[in-house]
Structures are given as structure tokens and as C-alpha cells.
Amino acid sequence: MGRLTAIIAAVSCVFLSSVCAAEDKPGSQVMNFESGWRITQDVHDLGEKLRWFDPTNSSGRGGAPNPADWQEIPRLAHLQLLLAPQPYFGRELRYFNDAPWWYRLDFATPAGAQSAALRFEGVDYYAKVWLNGSLLGEHEGYAEPFEFEVGKLLKAGKPNILIVKVSSPWDKDNAPGAEGNRIFSVMRNMLKGTYEHADTFVQRDVNPIGIWRPVELILHDEVRDQNQPWIRTSLAGNAQSATVAIQWLFSNDGGPQGADLAVRIVSLADDAVAAQSSRHVELAAGASVVDQTLTVLSPRLWSTWDRGTPALYEAELTLTRPGKEPILRSVKFGIRTIELRRSANETRFYLNGKPLYLRGATYWPDVYLSNVDRARYERDVAAAVRAGINALRIHVHTENPEFYEVCDRMGVVLLQDFDLNWTFPADEAFTGRAVKLYGGMILKLRNHPSIVAWIAMNEVTDTYRNVVRPGPQLVAEAKRVDPTRPTIKSSGNRDDLESGDGHDYRGSLNGGEYKDIFGTTEKLNTEFGVDAPPGPEDARRVPQIAEELKDVLLRVSELHDYQYRLIKYYIEYYRMQKYAPNAGYFQFMFVDFCPQSFYGIYDYWGAPKVEGLGGGLRALEESNQPIGVFMEYKDAPLALHAVNDSLQDLGDVTARWRVTLSNGEVVTEGAHDIRLGPDSHVRIGDLAFPVKQDQIYRVTLDLASRDGRPLAHNIYVDPFHHPKRPKGYPDRMDHELGMRLWWAGMSD
């Protein structure tokens, strides 16, 4: 699983020959501005005052930069990836954010072009846009698309000049009362989780900046659609039928006019037409919403891969007007219901009316989102499924669109975080900005059946938990934009009934030992885990990291072993509490988002951390599969348990156990028959024998059907000698390399 290194060559769309038709907009022509861009940094931030946006002002003497001052870039991506020799650490990265960057693109349009929309899919973070010297507007965000109508400003058949000013500045204000706290000291003014603002998880000098997703000029007539149609589904009659409600938004620059709307819904499982309809609609001047409702009989329900089939449908929409090219759209969606029940004793998801136990991990594959593509998502999600994962939490950021499409198809449910994290302003102005960006994120992603909940904030400190802004406003906005899904107000606040999930880092970040969770309960844990460095071979890919870790790399096996034991203990402990009260867990996190040492089961290059006993991946392979057999223990054995997370009734099964010493001597062995129904947990029975502290035990468990078919297998190697948190745990940052380092040889 090596890192993707291939770079797709960009095709210039600067001239007329580069105009191409969009696949889902055959009534339009789309110019893809993938290359031809030039950049320059405005080191004194005087560009606007000196009118750099004015195409007639190009003398280079006090005015706009001389043509020689503009540097051509090969593609659109975060500027650190294009210009920095090492984009993941180093104080030289700070200059990328110390001053704004200006982008320039020269292009021509067809002579007949009259109406057009200029669309940006992603600009990180603040953007100000001019076309042919006229200001189009400003935008805040990094992953939210935005667009402008520009037809009246285009010079058809002549050169056009597009100018974009981009900035992503450092937040420097200190949070009141948090001086000296490395995590919570900086007031987070930008709503951007890929920038950690202080010495925390993302290296202090990394703050992604740039136009990083496609830019398009959409040539159209006076009517065009805006955003994707919104598709909502609901079930009726014990799931014997489903209602599919469609809303399609149009912009009409002309007068009122009639059109014919046709909708066809196709099941992607067999290409069968599940429903279709057509009707006449009227498009008012300005904005118009066209809606249609259809019924699908005997619908195939979308489900997780371990409990059914992630069935998908495609809605094919056509709007036809007399004498005009039709406007077409196609949207993939799933039919399913989701519910989150919360009380003092429960935080449990229900999918299609049945409780869903979440075996999850958090996911964040790269701090630079422009460095990830569909192939990487396919690789990572497939690895997650093999490890038994049926849920991912997208931690304090938004991924590329391709990621959500992969999860829809593979049947992995998602908890989608917003970027609001830790410490932030609580005034009305900030709340307004947060609500706008939160609503925009939901608007963009709400068609994906894989997303089962929105998370408004992450780990809000005690100082901010009870403030009147922005938590309640974010929850209200989520309900307004998408009433079909629940919202977790503040992840990590288990006692808040608008949140309900907890984070637990005992044995790692919070000190103590992982076995300290014994005797506790957790309704839903959305963060636990432990840092583990990459293996020696991958660490040496970056000489600076290998040098800093030279002593640590000698004990990588010990650290990977500790990750294995901690993750295995947490997972099994929660699974033996299935629905009593635990409803799932999310290991933090599945892959490292940078080359430095981090919490991933896989390192940045896609290699599992499997030195020694096998690291976190072995823990998932043994303990995280849909069907499992486990030993309950702390310092001595207590009982055996079996869990079935699938909806299959396994009927009568046989559990077998065998306990041996390191010399092969059998301490105890036996078998017991139980009945294991669908989505169930069964305490098989007691397992008790005296543990001698000077002995090393090996426990082997097997679960098989009555006909001998293997259902689950588990092994415990020396389980009653729990290792303490390794000395030199990385509870502080290396300021230059920006990682939590294992300081070998230091006291705990």
C-alpha cells in the first residue's frame, strides 16, 4: 500500500480549443481552468492599493507585477505542495502565510458566449476575485464551492484576465485565561481544522493555502441549475415503499417561462427503472425551485457492508424548454432511515429501524487535501473494511467529494465533523460566519447516504460548553438545512444530551494505564488510541525524522506492541458492553496525515505499523470483525463473551478455549454451546484459574457453527501482564519537526 505518486497531467483550457462539455450538463459548455495559472506573493500586502487586479496596470513600477514577476504553476494544489521542498514541517513554511498570494489566468471565450458562471470548487482560505478589472466578490472557507455570474463581464473572442487574491493568515489572539496552554492558548478565528493554530497535532508551521480544487467557466443560456438537486427519502408500510422527494434549484436571468421536467430513478444493482414521472413546470424570473415526488415500490435499502448491501439508486433528471438544449443532471443516492437516540444511559444509532453497533476509526489521510485522490480513498476504505470497520469519523475537516462516493458504494457510515475545534470567539459575528460555513458543508454533502450524523463542534472546553453561541445556532442550522439527520453538538461531551459521546485516552494522552477503563461504562466513544511511530524503513524516507527518532527506532517493536494491546483492550471491553450501554467506538486514527509519528494504524505512506506483535492492525483483525469471541479480564481472567454484529441468526454455535503456558503446558481447555442470534451479545460463561505472576500465558479462543465452520478466532499473548505506558510518551511537541515524539530513555 504505497503512497500514490502519480500526478495526472493537467490539460490547459486557456484557449477556445480547450472548451469541453460537462458530462452532466450537455446543455452547457464548460471551460476547465486546470492549468495556465501564474502566481506571485504580495509580501507587503499592497496589491489592492496598487490595483494589481487592473489588467491595464502592468508596468511593474509601483503598479501590478511585471509579467516576469508571475511564476507559472503546473496545476492547482495547495501552494506548499507545489513550492516547498518539505511541505510537512520546517519554519520556512511560515512565509506561505505571512502575506497573500495573487493568482492570474488569461483565457479567451467563444465569440457567441453571453451568459456564464465562474465556479470555484475549493479555495483555501480567504478569496477575493476580479474579472477584467471588476470585483466579483469575496469568499471564506476552504472546501465549499462558490460561484459568480460573469457573462456581462466576458470579452467574447478576446483575452480575459481572471485575478484571485488568496490568503490564509495566522491566528495570533490569545484565548482569555488559557495562557501557557499549548493546545487551547490560541483563539481559532478561522474555521479550518486542517490548521491547528498552535503546537497540537498539525505541525505549527503548516497552514494550507491556495486554489486547490477545479475552477470552471460554465457557458450557458439564461437558465441554469445551481448545486446538486436535493434528494430526500422516507419509508412507508414497513419498508414496502419509499417516497423520493426531489428539489432542483434554478437561476433564470430571463422572464418567466415553461419547461417540462422528467425524472427517472434507476436501481444501480440491476439497472432496472424503479420509478419515473414527468410534468410541466414554470420557471419564474430569478431563483426557482422545481420539485417532484416519486414512489419506489419494494425498495432496496442502503446498509453497511456487514449488515446488508449498500444499495444505491440514480436519479436522472431532465429539464426541457422549447428550442433549447435540455438541462440534465444525475444524482446517486440511497434509501434508508437514520435515528440517534440519546438519554442519560444511551447514545445509540438506528439504521433502517434497527440498532447499529459502530466499529469505527477517525479518518484524515493528509493534512493537504489536494494530495489525496480517488485511488487513495479506494485503498484506505478497502483496508478499513478488511479490518472490520463499518464507520469512520471525518475529524474536524471536510474531505474531497470522491471520498463520500467511495463510502456510499462500500457501505461505510460516516460521522461528519465541522471544523470548529477547541477554542474560538463566542461573539455574534463569529457565530454568523460559523453558521454560514456549517450550513454550506451540509448543503454540499447531504445527498450521501453514508453520512449518518453531523458534528457541530469538537472537544469544546469547559469555558465554552455553556455559552449561548455558537452551539445552539449550529444545531438549529443543521436541522434547517437537513432535518433528516441528527447533530452532535459537541463531540467529547458525554453528559450533554445534545452530544452524548465521550473521548478516553487513559493509557496514552491522559496518562495512567489502559486497563484503568475496567469497571467504567461508555455510551459511545468517538476517540481513543495511542501514538506509534512509523516502522524504521518508512521513517528513513525523511532523514530529519529518522535522525530525531534514531533512538526510538530501536524500540519500535515495543511501541507497536503497546498500540496493539491498548487498542485491543479498549475494543473488546466496549464490545462486551454491547448496548449495555456501549453502542460503538472510534479508534483515533486510521492513517497518519503526515510523515511524522502519529496515532495511525497505518503510517503516512500506507504501511501498517506491524513491528513486534502486529500493532493496531492486528488488534483490529482479532477484535474488530463483525463476529467476535473475547475474554473478559483485568489482572486475571473472568469470563468469555461472544458478539454478533451482523443481522444473521447464527443459531447454535460452539465456543472453545485453550490456555497454555510458554512451555506448552495446558492450564485449562473446554467448549461450551450457546445460541447467538442476530445483532447480539452473549456471556458464554466464567473463565477462572489462578494466575501466577511469574508465568506467561497464552489464551486461544474459537467460535464455530455446529457444522464446524469457523466464525471467529482470537489470541491473547501474555494478557495478564499489562505493560505500563512506555517511558518517554510523546506528550510534548518537537517544535521544528512538528510531531509528538517518543523521547527514548526519558522518565514517564
- CA-derived radius of gyration, the chain: 28
Is pLDDT above 50 for 12?
no
pLDDT band of residue 90 (cuts 50, 70, 90) is confident
Q: Could you give the strand order of the β-sheet that contains 313-320, starting from the edge strand earlier in sequence?
A: 272-283, 257-267, 313-320, 327-333
Which of 343, 363, 359 is CA-nearest to residue 494?
Answer: 343
The angle, 0 to 180 degrees and rounded to 10, between the axes of the packed helices 374-386 and 401-410 is 30
DSSP secondary structure, 121-152, as one string: S-EEEEEEEEETTEEEEEEEESS--EEEE-GG
The angle, 0 to 180 degrees and rounded to 10, between the axes of the packed helices 471-481 and 428-445 is 30
Q: Kindly report which listed range (101-115, 153-167, 277-291) carries the lowest average pLDDT score.
A: 101-115
CB 160 within 8 A of CB 109: yes
- Note the pLDDT of residue 318: 97
Q: Which residues contact 445 (CB under 8 A, 6 or more apart)?
A: 398, 404, 416, 451
pLDDT band of residue 13 (cuts 50, 70, 90) is very low
SS3 of residue 474 by DSSP: helix
pLDDT band of residue 178 (cuts 50, 70, 90) is low
- Note the pLDDT of residue 487: 98
DSSP class of residue 619 equals H
Q: Which residues contact 583 (CB under 8 A, 6 or more apart)?
A: 346, 347, 348, 349, 355, 356, 357, 358, 523, 524
How far is CA 401 from each of CA 305, 373, 447, rounded to the nearest angstrom?
A: 20, 10, 11
pLDDT band of residue 181 (cuts 50, 70, 90) is low
Cα maximum dimension of the chain? 89
- Note the pLDDT of residue 351: 98
Structural domains of the chain ordered from first start: 16-219 (2.60.120.260), 227-333 (2.60.40.10), 338-626 (3.20.20.80), 636-717 (2.60.40.10)
What are the beta bridge partners of residue 20?
30
Residue that is written with C-alpha cell 485565561 in the block: 177
Q: Which residues contact 165 (CB under 8 A, 6 or more apart)?
A: 42, 47, 48, 52, 53, 100, 101, 102, 103, 127, 128, 129
Amino acid, single-letter form, for residue 121: E
CB 515 within 8 A of CB 704: no
Residue ranges of alpha helices (H) inside 461-555 are 462-465, 471-481, 536-539, 543-548
∠ CA(552), CA(556), CA(560), 5° rounding?
135
DSSP secondary structure, 203-217, as one string: -TT----EE-S-EEE
Query: What is the pairing mode between strands 666-676 and 627-633?
Result: unpaired
Q: How many residues does the chain have?
A: 748
Q: Kindly report which listed range (141-145, 354-358, 541-545, 739-743) carries the lowest average pLDDT score.
A: 739-743
Is pLDDT above 50 for 433?
yes
pLDDT 10s digits, 123-158: 999 999 999 999 999 999 999 999 999 999 999 888
Tally of helices (H runs) and strands (E runs) in the chain:
11, 39
How far is CA 88 from each of CA 25, 194, 202, 593, rounded to the nearest angstrom?
A: 39, 12, 9, 10
pLDDT 10s digits, 313-371: 999 999 999 989 999 999 999 999 999 999 999 999 999 999 999 999 999 999 999 99
CB 455 within 8 A of CB 340: no
Query: Exposed/middle/buried for 461, CB within 10 Å: 0-12, 13-18, 19+?
Result: middle
How far is CA 616 from each of CA 72, 112, 191, 357, 644, rounded to the nearest angstrom?
A: 44, 60, 31, 20, 22
- Note the pLDDT of residue 11: 25
| Calpha distance 597→168 (Å, rounded) | 26
- Note the pLDDT of residue 203: 81
∠ CA(452), CA(454), CA(457), 5° rounding?
150
CB 568 within 8 A of CB 632: no
Is pLDDT above 60 for 167?
yes
118 or 68: whose pLDDT is higher?
Answer: 118
Residue ranges of alpha helices (H) inside 297-448 are 374-386, 401-410, 428-445
Q: Is the dihedral of CA 496, 502, 504, 509 positive or negative?
A: negative
pLDDT 10s digits, 620-663: 999 999 999 999 999 999 999 999 999 999 999 999 999 999 99
pLDDT band of residue 731 (cuts 50, 70, 90) is low
Q: What is the mean pLDDT of residues 116-120?
A: 96
What are the beta bridge partners of residue 280?
260
- φ, ψ of residue 409 to 5 degrees: the values are -75, -35
Q: Kindly report which listed range (305-314, 359-368, 553-562) carries the lowest average pLDDT score.
A: 553-562
Q: Is the dihedral of CA 123, 332, 441, 288 positive or negative?
A: positive
